[in-house]
Structure 1
Amino acid sequence: MYEWYTRGLSLLRSGSAAAALQLLARAADAEPDSRAIREALARAQFGARRFGDAADSFRSIVADDPAEDYALFGLGLALSRMGDFRGAVEPLALAAAMRPDNKDYANALRHVRATLASRD
């Protein structure tokens, strides 16, 4: 299980999200309570453009720990990639409020809000 996780992370870092997804899914099946594995799996799902799966994975992490800012950010990004900009606002706003120094969080929130404003 640990080898699947470390190899999956290595593949993810090298830009091979689809390959990482296979290994990290196995690791998550073997160790479903590991938040680190679930987060890596969510990142791989996002990178492989499986945004619905990524949103579900990030949502599961947030359900276990509502103060997990990175999972909130990932959830918001996944929802926005699926076109659910209204749904993306809350998790992105929470992540940005928790980490006001994080420019990625603020930029994602600004982008979602601007998209909504242009559609209204």
Structure 2
Amino acid sequence: MSEAYDLYQQGRRHLRSGMAAQATVALEKAKKLEPDKASIREALGIAYFRITRWAAAEAEFRKVLELSPVDDYAHYALGRTLQKQGRGAEASRYLKLARCLRPRSPGDGLGP
């Protein structure tokens, strides 16, 4: 496997273990190796969201949408991130798009 993949997997393990801050270290390294990999960007966005780094999470989810404009989860995650920043009107656009693209169950993966 590639180094980027190994780092991505390490970051995902940290996320599953509730260690979002540690996940960012591995995922940032993976992003440097594979900057156009949507899966890495999404996982990094989730990690940033969980440690309340809203602007960084927003940037990652926007990049995922640039790479994959119909990614329903990225629309949802960006909407939630915008809500956390008090930008409800802007957030509603992305949340509506997410619902139209694919309804989600309550478990969104972002955490509290």
TM value normalised by structure 2:
0.87
Aligned length: 104
2: CA distance, partners of 1:33 / 1:59: 12
Deviations 1:2-41 (A, max 9, x none): 2211111000111100010111001001111111111111
Alignment of 1:7-22 (within 5 A): 7-22=10-25
- Amino-acid identity (%): 38
Structure 2 counterpart of 1:111 = none
Q: RMSD of aligned C-alpha atoms?
A: 1.4
Structure 2 counterpart of 1:60 = 63
Q: Is the 8 A contact 2:38 2:68 kept in 1?
A: no
Alignment of 1:1-12 (within 5 A): 1-12=4-15
Deviations 1:77-96 (A, max 9, x none): 10001111111000000001
- The residue identity in structure 1 corresponding to 2:24 is L
- 2:106 counterpart (101, 104, 114): 104
2: CA distance, partners of 1:63 / 1:7: 25
Choose between structure 1 and 2: higher helix proportion: 1
**Residue ranges of structure 2 left out of the alignment (5+ in a row):** 108-112
1: CA distance, partners of 2:9 / 2:66: 25
Larger Rg: 1
2: CA distance, partners of 1:66 / 1:79: 17
TM value normalised by structure 1:
0.81
Structure 2 counterpart of 1:88 = 91
2: CA distance, partners of 1:58 / 1:37: 11
- The residue identity in structure 2 corresponding to 1:70 is Y
Larger RCO of the pair (alpha carbons < 8 Å, separation 6+): 2
